[in-house]
A and B are shown apart, each in its own frame.
Chain A
């Protein structure tokens, strides 16, 4: 038997096994339509008289039709919010479950003739006005799922305290003091914990390339000053530090980048960080002991931000460039096998179980001239979400996105 014959037989058997639709479906559908119309009218009234309308809207919603037992998120989808004329963005960019929670531009600030600090300027989403607000206060920002809270570090890393920022007011509501200085932060998927990467020196210190008379350039040697990580309970502020060597001995350049932050594994049970050397990652338990990767993380690449799909069945992979000029692989997380090739030069965040936000290039073919787009697996539809960012490194126009679940 061929695989297509088995597909045909299985589909037919599955279809034949379905019990008929429940009676009264037409009336349920008509009731659903009535409620949707009511909802639209309510939102129009709310726009005209914002505060008063909200208080009367809720009882109105239940006034017509038969019972709708579907979850609210099915009838009120997270709409795509695209601004293809904006770069850097001014108004909310979002698709499906993910939103551009913040973005930043990096400019080097010289500390000496040889060294500069890659200094970030952030634009943070105000979840109330849905606009991005510029701030130079923070050297690092991690946004929690829900877009209401961010964890921040002040300028001049490494920092000795972590701020919990209210995204709407822009105010730090609480400070968490730490004994080991911190250079990077990442939330767990549920937003309840933070992993803070500790460094003994600023991880954003970069050598300034020195031009040679005969052509070419040379940079001074740098090394990692990563010391370990804290796992912090956000609600209580309780933190536990684990020491982790920088790689091949203290300060070894061979094993990790000067900034190589830790993050939680998908289920939050392990801590991991990327590595330039194969296999490209190292996992630790919460005590800082090296362990093997989870089964669904063997083929994870630390530089592909999208990672595993929301339902965990697909893994965003590396650049492909076979079927299209700019495209990426979608992998089976368990085997690393290529499942499909999708539009998108660099996959940044999953919008749904089969759609992603990615960087992609335009018609000019310049691989550095990119904009945010929404791509759908096995589809040629590409929806621009932002305008193109600048091609010039070390300028605020070449902004980097920070995504969070909304």
Chain B
């Protein structure tokens, strides 16, 4: 990377790293250290081809999402997930206040598979339509839809407090998904 490239890379990281880190931490199930690792790897990849990248933020985000769902290649250490409050807060006996529910939800999100969590982050944090999520993750819209549906169902099954919530406003997946199967040698 030449001097001009170094300067623009530093500018980009300085201005966007906090926003990117927020996404990386969400993708890592709330684990700050894992999120920092994830972002550091994605930025290192971007630095390697900096002069060829036209939209750095879109590129880094795509690397974040795809890197996260291929985590087996990185063999992450399992870390404890820190939450601000204990998982079963005692202040509200019925555990149903909005703040309590959000805490329960955070704990449940950390227990999803990486791909399930990534799809939910893209759909509900980044507010992306299903077609964009499919393009970013390199899968069919049907897969995004069925994964979203299964992920929300899994969240409801993880905690009794969430089971009482109404169903999501998503289309129900077809009983059989006929989306094409991708086989890459």
From A10, A73, A322, contact of B75 by CB (8 A): A73
- 9 closest cross-chain pairs (CB), A and B: A352-B72, A26-B13, A378-B115, A21-B17, A355-B72, A4-B168, A10-B105, A20-B18, A15-B22
Q: Is B3 an interface residue (CB 8 A)?
A: no
Q: Is A177 an interface residue (CB 8 A)?
A: no
Number of interface residues of A (CB under 8 A): 67
Residues A353 and B71 in contact in the complex (CB < 8 Å), given A4-B170, A6-B105: yes
Q: Check B166–A1 contact: CB distance below 8 A.
A: yes
* From B30, B44, B184, residue with most partner A Cβ within 10 Å: B44
Q: Is B182 an interface residue (CB 8 A)?
A: yes
From B9, B37, B102, B154, contact of A70 by CB (8 A): B37
Q: Check A25–B111 contact: CB distance below 8 A.
A: no
Q: Is B52 an interface residue (CB 8 A)?
A: no
Q: What interface size band does chain B fall in?
A: 35 or more
Q: A26-B13, A74-B75 are in contact. List 14 more A-B contacts (CB 8 A).
A: A2-B168, A3-B152, A4-B152, A8-B124, A11-B120, A14-B30, A16-B22, A18-B32, A25-B13, A26-B12, A28-B40, A378-B113, A379-B143, A380-B181
* From B25, B111, B113, B120, residue with most partner A Cβ within 10 Å: B113
Q: Is A339 an interface residue (CB 8 A)?
A: yes
For residue B170, which residue of chain A has the nearest CB?
Answer: A4
Chain B residues contacting A11 (CB-CB under 8 Å) are 26, 109, 120-121, 124-125
Chain A residues contacting B121 (CB-CB under 8 Å) are 11
From A4, A9, A84, A323, contact of B102 by CB (8 A): A9
Chain B residues contacting A6 (CB-CB under 8 Å) are 101-102, 105, 162, 165
Report Cα–Cα, A378/B134, bound state, in Å. 12
Q: Is A384 an interface residue (CB 8 A)?
A: yes
From A18, A78, A97, contact of B21 by CB (8 A): A18
Residues A74 and B125 in contact in the complex (CB < 8 Å), given A6-B105, A11-B26: no
Report Cα–Cα, A378/B167, bound state, in Å. 21
Q: Check A77–B9 contact: CB distance below 8 A.
A: no
Q: List residues 137-189 of chain A with CB under 8 A from any CB of chain B.
A: none
Q: Is B133 an interface residue (CB 8 A)?
A: no
**Cross-chain pairs A/B with CB under 8 angstroms, 10 sampled:** A3-B155, A4-B124, A6-B105, A15-B22, A21-B39, A25-B14, A29-B13, A30-B6, A311-B78, A354-B69
From A18, A33, A337, A377, contact of B47 by CB (8 A): A33
